[in-house]
Amino acid sequence: MAHISLVTLGVSDVERATRYYEALGWRRSSMSVEGTISFLQGGTVVLGLFGRDDLASDAAVDVTTAEGHAPIALAMNLGSPTAVDQALAAAEQAGGRITKPPETTDWGGYSGYVADLDGHLWEIAHNPFAPLLDTGQMVLPDE
């Protein structure tokens, strides 16, 4: 079965980024190596924060250019529009930059975007058509 077990973000300052994500409710794992890499647990995925230069070296790419690399947005789906507003406010309070304020979407949901301290985009959304388990995992139809 296809799945994502770990997402690693290249960040300019691992400890600063770790504090940011902890302020949003992610829990640091004891597997973290202070100053080098943080593993944060939340819902159904582990988020890894790794120095940007170290990640570029590990992936054998040039950190100074995005040429050939597609931009991405990660998404956090929540149980209500109120939870979306609260999460975006917490992200902004922790130093994130709201790039798109939350609004009702044309597909019937509610979402907004925030850039973290290193510019990684996160969509914070409520999708009334995709129920969530207690773990935060989305339940999608099989067909």
Answer positive or negative: Cα dihedral of 26, 6, 32, 29. positive
Q: Which pLDDT tens digit goes with each residue over 74-122?
A: 889 999 999 999 999 999 999 999 999 999 998 899 999 999 999 899 9
Check residue 60 and give left, alpha or beta (phi > 0: left; psi -120 to 50: alpha).
left
Mean pLDDT, the chain, integer: 86
**Whole-number pLDDT of residue 108:** 93
Q: What is the pTM of this model?
A: 0.83
- Asked whether residue 60 carries a pLDDT value surpassing 90, the answer given is no
Length of the chain: 143
Q: Which long-range contacts (CB under 8 A, 24 or more apart) does 23-28 make?
A: 23/90, 23/93, 23/94, 24/87, 24/90, 24/91, 24/94, 25/90
Residues 22-51 have a mean pLDDT of 87
Check residue 119 and give left, alpha or beta (phi > 0: left; psi -120 to 50: alpha).
left
**Inter-residue contact 17 to 36 (CB < 8 Å):** no
User: Measured in whole angstroms, how far is the alpha carbon of residue 104 from the centre of its chain?
Assistant: 21
* CA neighbor of 53 nearest in space, from 112, 109, 89, 10: 10
- Asked whether residue 67 carries a pLDDT value surpassing 60, the answer given is no
124 confidence band (pLDDT: 50, 70, 90): very high
79 vs 68, more confident: 79
135 confidence band (pLDDT: 50, 70, 90): confident
